[in-house]
């Protein structure tokens, strides 16, 4: 059973059963690298992304600390195990809140969120390594982007989930695809994909309309956690 503290003075919620403790954050300097609330407010009022990047770069030590940069959020490395997702606009706050909610509904699907600001301006989240390419995903997992595309498309189109129904639906779309995409498919191959807890959970969540089928269809949106190599979906804050 998960236990949570109420919001504290520093405007965060702590997951006390997380494998990332305050001690880890303190030892690696992570807590000291979270920008204060007044700086975050100034950051979000800047007019352009380049101004925001320059502002954030002054707070963090090195340019290489930035892990990712989207239209509404930046991701910065706090420690070897943790990153900070920083909202650039109000939509980024909405994404952070949605991502936190999804992490509670689907803990095996997404990276662990250790802390968040009460106004959702930032998250501290388990650091992951995304797949560099479709080929990289295939080499690591045995399946790639075209495979998850067919799987998640089928999950969105059928009334209930079981491997036989999924396989029947997948076959109707595979026949239009290239031989190098369809020839390795079988019910056994599907069951191998579903043996990954994150893939099975994504299929169920898509089928239940809890998450969109769009984000999980791309190999670049998947990765492995740095702590234990667990497969996770990197961005479900949409």
Q: Look up the CATH number of the domain holding residue 109.
A: 3.30.200.20
Count CB neighbours of 21 within 10 A.
12
Residues 208-219: tens digit of each pLDDT: 888 888 889 999
Instruction: Say yes or no to pLDDT of 25 above 60.
Output: no
What domain range includes position 184? 134-222+229-233
Calpha distance 136→160 (Å, rounded): 31
Residues 180-223: tens digit of each pLDDT: 778 899 999 999 999 999 999 999 999 888 888 888 999 989 99
Q: Are 104 and 205 in contact (CB under 8 A)?
A: no
- Total structural domains in the chain? 2
- In the predicted model, what is the mean pLDDT of residues 33-61? 73
Last residue of a domain, one of 95, 126, 157: 126
- Rounded to two decimals, the pTM is 0.76
Residue 11 lies in a domain: no
Q: Which residues of the chain form beta strands (DSSP E)?
A: 66-69, 73-77, 82-87, 113-116, 122-126, 128-130, 222-225, 231-233
Residues 48-107: tens digit of each pLDDT: 777 777 777 777 765 556 667 777 888 888 778 888 888 888 898 998 998 899 889 999
Instruction: Say yes or no to pLDDT of 19 above 50.
Output: no
- In the predicted model, what is the mean pLDDT of residues 154-166? 87
Q: Are 133 and 219 in contact (CB under 8 A)?
A: yes
Last residue of a domain, one of 126, 156, 179: 126
Let me know whether 66 and 86 are in one domain.
Answer: yes
Return the pLDDT at 87.
85
Let me know whether 150 and 213 are in one domain.
Answer: yes
């Amino acid at each position: 059973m998960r236990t949570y503290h109420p919001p504290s003075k520093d405007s965060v919620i702590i997951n006390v059963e997380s494998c990332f403790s305050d001690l880890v954050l303190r030892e690696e300097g992570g807590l000291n690298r979270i920008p204060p609330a007044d700086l975050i407010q100034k950051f979000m009022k800047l007019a352009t992304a380049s101004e925001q990047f320059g502002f954030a770069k002054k707070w963090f030590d090195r340019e290489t600390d930035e892990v990712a940069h989207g239209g509404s959020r930046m991701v910065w490395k706090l420690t070897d195990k943790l990153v900070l997702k920083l909202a650039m606009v109000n939509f980024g706050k909405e994404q952070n809140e949605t991502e936190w909610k999804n992490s509670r509904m689907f803990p095996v699907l997404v990276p662990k969120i250790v802390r968040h600001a009460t106004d959702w301006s930032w998250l501290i989240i388990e650091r992951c390594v995304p797949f560099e390419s479709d080929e990289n995903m295939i080499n690591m997992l045995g399946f790639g982007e075209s495979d998850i595309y067919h799987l998640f498309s089928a999950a969105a189109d059928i009334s209930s989930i079981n491997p036989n129904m999924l396989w029947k639906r997948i076959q109707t779309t595979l026949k239009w695809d290239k031989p190098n995409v369809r020839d390795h498919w079988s019910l056994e191959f599907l069951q191998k994909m579903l043996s990954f807890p994150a893939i099975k959970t994504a299929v169920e969540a898509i089928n239940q309309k809890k998450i969109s089928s769009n984000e999980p269809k791309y190999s670049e949106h998947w990765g492995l956690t740095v702590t234990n190599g667990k497969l996770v979906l990197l961005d479900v804050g949409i």
